[in-house]
Amino acid sequence: MTTAAERTRPVVAVLYREATKADGLATALDGANVLYQWHSFSPALRQNWDAAASLQWVHVSAAGVSQLLFDDLIGSNIVYTNSRGVLSRAIAEFALGFVLDMAKGAQTSFRLQRQHRWQHRVTRKLQGQTALVVGTGSIGREIARLFHAVGIKVSGAARSSRPGDDDFAQIHSSRDLARMVHDYDYVVLAAPLTNQTRGLVSGEVLSAMKGSARLINVGRGELVHTGALTEALESGSIAGAALDVVDPEPLPDEHPLWGMDNVIITPHMSGDTDNYLDDLSKLFVDNLKRFRDREPLHNVVDKALGFVPNT
């Protein structure tokens, strides 16, 4: 498999420099027009901002960029692009896997198997169940399509309410979550992290969910108030949660979420498939050709909003 660096060599040789770690970024930025920011949580650009005088475009190998934006970058003329769409299908498959795991009691089956116990149980049928997908961008839409395929009725929640479309029966305003979540068996978080979505799933929202409902988070851990979620799961206010992202990340060893039988935790891996590095590099190389040819770039982030607006 060719790497992103190898793919860039024949495209714009004058712009190419060897990959660098954070401690060498200041030197690498000297005279550089383009930065491919591979580590999607690194503060290196912020820490070396004074060396970025020549930067015109930054591309990041992630869809979520909230942790990478800072005031100087937001206020600059630098074009910022992300990898929106590349990992959407994989993340959607992961979300569907969570639903199947919980509906069919897979975790309980694994525990009984280890105990050598043959214990018959009934499970939940997905057809006719309902899901609210919070975040109607490329990830949310892929989730909706896969959920539809197994018979789940899907609505969405976004910055503002609007009529439904081919993917969502209806689209609510995410500001109204506490008033609408009681209608859904699954609440799936796939929204970008912004000042408006941080802590979106509060104790009020969790207490408004059905007692049989499950929360799934494949977005960002900070979308959820972790303390309130822990209390809701301990009290049985909601039936369970599947979390690919948490706050803080990783969870401390002693955190009670680790030991709950009604919780599935995975280490922020929902988009990482066996070929995802190659897929990410293809997007960057395509954009690099566009940058060379002065064509509009794909996935331009509105830096004030913190995400790529839907078109």
Question: 116 catalytic, yes or no?
Answer: no
Q: In whole angstroms, what is the distance from residue 123 CA to residue 295 CA?
A: 53
Tell me which of 59, 141, 225, 268 is the catalytic residue.
Answer: 268
To the query of whether residue 254 is one of the catalytic residues in this protein, the response is no
Secondary structure string (H, E, C) spanning 187-209: EEECCCCCCCCCCCECHHHHHHC
- Please say whether the dihedral angle defined by the alpha carbons of residues 136, 138, 139 and 144, taken in this order, is positive or negative: positive
Say if CB 108 and CB 128 are below 8 A apart.
no
212: alpha, beta or left? (left if phi > 0; alpha if psi -120 to 50): alpha
The catalytically annotated residue of 59, 220, 222, 225 is: 220
User: Which 8-state DSSP code applies to residue 251?
Assistant: P
Which residues, listed in sequence order, are joined to residue 264 by a DSSP beta bridge?
242
CB proximity list for 230: less than 8 A, separation 6 or greater: 255, 256, 257
182 part of the active site: no
Which of 6, 234, 249, 295 is the catalytic position?
249
Q: Catalytic residue positions?
A: 220, 249, 268
